[in-house]
Amino acid sequence: MKQEACRKDVERAFGVLQARFAIIAGPSRFWATNVLQDIMRTCIIMHNMIIEDERDLSVPIGQARKHQFDVEVALDENERFDEFLKRNKDIKDKDAHYALRNALIDHIWDEYTNGDD
């Protein structure tokens, strides 16, 4: 009976990750086992970071924090295409990649070590 309850918990958690990360929802039989392990660990860490970031400790349990986003719609097609190209360039920027990677490493190091070097 306990094994069944644990299995349900694992399946539920896996479903949450599948809903959030498309790489988990896709076929996996062509991936090497060690690559699958890295993908799962990475998605779990990112999921936990997202949950931690969205959590507001001052709000009572049961109340969700509402996000307010101001979105400006661009009506000019050329402007939209230029913005698309800029975002695409930013995504492929190696310096930005290394900066984000190092920031993630620093965050994990600060969060999960006891601070004693």
* Residue 64 domain-assigned (yes or no): no
**What residues in the chain have per-residue pLDDT under 50?**
none
Name the amino acid, one letter, at 96.
A
Are residue 7 and residue 54 in the same domain, yes or no? yes
In the chain, the N- to C-terminal Cα span, in Å, equals: 44
Q: Which of 34, 59, 84 is the last residue of a domain?
A: 59
* Residue 42 domain-assigned (yes or no): yes
Are residue 49 and residue 95 in the same domain, yes or no? no
pLDDT score recorded for residue 31: 82
* Residue 88 domain-assigned (yes or no): yes
pLDDT score recorded for residue 97: 84
Are residue 76 and residue 46 in the same domain, yes or no? no
Are residue 54 and residue 76 in the same domain, yes or no? no
Q: Which of 59, 90, 106 is the last residue of a domain?
A: 59
Q: Are 17 and 47 in contact (CB under 8 A)?
A: yes
Are residue 14 and residue 53 in the same domain, yes or no? yes
Residue 33 to residues 13, 39, 47, 107: CA-CA distances in angstroms? Answer: 20, 10, 21, 27
Domain limits at 38? 1-59
